[in-house]
Structure 1
């Protein structure tokens, strides 16, 4: 029986390991699961980044994760990263696959040696853009989930494993999405529930702010916003600028927060809310994007979307989550069968929501509300 390993705070420091190098063969398949909590509060950390080599996943709302990897001798540690916390580095071992991970907040006060303005930081983002982000065609392996919930109930749940052709920004090609395995469940009649955004795939999510020509971080858009430095924080042992931005002109279309690595000048996280003027439907809309660093380049890792509206006196939420679990650089556009169009609704109704459904695919564990709706 797999033992539960309780990792002490002293051991969970950046670069720390639990044991000597394990005697694992190259390419050994490992399935690692666990829970990530905040050391100071003992509360679960949702959307902590779980990284191994160029593969990755994230925790669910309860801080839980499951991750299937192939062991490489050159990369011994599984990394758990979260903005504002010390990175946990856990040595891989066949006896060490059910983890309870405590992340320590990094509370050291930071002071800038060289004072730079928020506008200068954003200009650096643009100047370093070409060397920071992927500029080759990529084939992404991804997990996608969308849910419709009220304050109390889960109304609709759908999940899928995708292959995504992700062309370079220099290409005229557009991303192509292929669904490898999907499932969905409807828990209530949707006849009276207006669902404006459920369309069954992540076409609108995969193009992050670092790629879109109309993005609020592009040099030609900077004059339309007011950028303010909120201070410094940490990510993976490095200083990170926290920059808040607000509309300054009528050509601005959102507000939010940007987290920028002070060393590489790369955006590692964005949180932004589109302006909702001129409409009376949406109560709240929010996007969050995160990037992961592999060999000095930053790749899209996680995108989440939240849209809320009021109906019959209650708040209804549509949430979508896309996590890139693996990628490879390619030189030829792949032949993806059954590629999706923008209006496709492709999820297959599922009679079983067992975790065995996903076989060897990486996925995100269901949260408490979803399990309750399924009768777990």
Structure 2
């Protein structure tokens, strides 16, 4: 038997061919040369975003010759490049776009949203989903950082017909660094990815749920572009005491799918949060719009603490059933119980992640603590 046909050689060849390929770079405004944070970066079915400094890393197990790198951000033209010989580092400039809807039809916010709701079952996935995503939490006050925690999460989202009320989450790799110990950390740290993985599209308590939609007034307020989508902007706010949220909804001109939601729950007699805000974004994969990223920002009462959480769904697959072994890993599970303090890029081992911004990197690599 030749070495080339030996089991060890074939195993090594299999492992080599399945090593993820990472593409790294920075995204900038072509006119100002300023970095563009939170831009969408897509290779095949894998999606990630740039950090606050405009830097990005995206990894995919298979990148065929000629695969397309696509980058988009609200208010800019889409950048597209075929990948042949992958470079060590990409510097990518986005050009501000000029918005020109082919035909501006005067519509009310109410009529637009009626069309949006009518197309929910066409535009959004209703099946059970398996997601692999990057999750991050941090807490600070006006002077210093209290902790930074990050992880790669295995997430199972039930369908509308399932009896499960929440997404189930298993941490794959986690790391954290605590700079200052405070009692409130244990109350906040862990569990939020489960809530964030269930979007406002299908969540029963959502302002978009059929039983809640009539509690809001919808006003058309203009249009913009998001990547290669021309988008209506709709403002919404409560019209009665049952409404508890206000914000903006960004709707695709052609499909009438919601691409982005920015919303602000109205807090009444709430013991902890002074104010909170959510942002959800959706990307089209395999003909269906799927949740891509969710961010949460909260300021505690008396403006003492600022809490931030981010979930980015890098990969998403339709599945037949949720594995039984994941049923105990619910929102009460602490993602970071076994987290390590390794803040090197090599820690992620080929998974998709968001690079630490310069300020955070200086914090975690500092030898002294606060």
* TM score, norm. by length of structure 1: 0.85
RMSD: 2.4
Q: Partners of 1:330 and 1:75 in 2: how far apart? A: 29
Counterpart of 2:239 in structure 1 is: 248
Q: Partners of 2:140 and 2:31 in 1: how far apart? A: 30
Counterpart of 1:369 in structure 2 is: 359
Deviations 1:27-75 (A, max 9, x none): 7842101111222333222211111222111111111111111335497
Q: Does 1:263 align with 2:254?
A: yes
Structure 1: runs of 5 or more not aligned: 1-25
Once the two structures are TM-superposed, the CA of residue 355 in structure 1 deviates from its matched residue by 1.2
8 Å CA contact retained: 1:154, 1:370:
no
Name the CA shift for 1:97/1:87 in 2 (closer, same or farther; >3 Å).
farther
Q: Partners of 1:237 and 1:194 in 2: how far apart? A: 41
Q: Where does 1:308-319 land on structure 2 (aligned, <5 Å)? A: 308-309=299-300, 315-319=304-308
Q: Partners of 1:315 and 1:105 in 2: how far apart? A: 38
Counterpart of 1:19 in structure 2 is: none
Could you tell me which of 134, 138, 149 is aligned with 1:143?
Answer: 134
State the SS of the aligned residue for 1:283. Answer: strand
Q: Does 1:345 align with 2:334?
A: yes
Judge which range, 215-224 or 233-242, deviates more: 215-224
Once the two structures are TM-superposed, the CA of residue 294 in structure 1 deviates from its matched residue by 1.3
Q: Where does 1:87-236 land on structure 2 (aligned, <5 Å)? A: 87-110=78-101, 112-173=103-164, 174-191=166-183, 196-236=187-227
Q: Partners of 1:366 and 1:242 in 2: how far apart? A: 32
Judge which range, 53-62 or 106-115, deviates more: 106-115
Counterpart of 2:4 in structure 1 is: none
Judge which range, 95-104 or 256-265, deviates more: 95-104
Name the CA shift for 1:70/1:92 in 2 (closer, same or farther; >3 Å).
farther
Once the two structures are TM-superposed, the CA of residue 141 in structure 1 deviates from its matched residue by 0.6
Deviations 1:177-216 (A, max 9, x none): 111111111011224x566532344111111111112322
Q: How many residues align?
A: 349
Counterpart of 1:78 in structure 2 is: 69
Counterpart of 2:9 in structure 1 is: none
State the SS of the aligned residue for 2:207. Answer: coil
Q: Where does 1:278-317 land on structure 2 (aligned, <5 Å)? A: 278-279=269-270, 281-309=272-300, 315-317=304-306
8 Å CA contact retained: 2:216, 2:238:
yes
Counterpart of 1:35 in structure 2 is: 26
Structure 2: runs of 5 or more not aligned: 1-16
8 Å CA contact retained: 1:144, 1:201:
no
Judge which range, 279-288 or 238-247, deviates more: 279-288
Q: Partners of 2:321 and 2:271 in 1: how far apart? A: 45
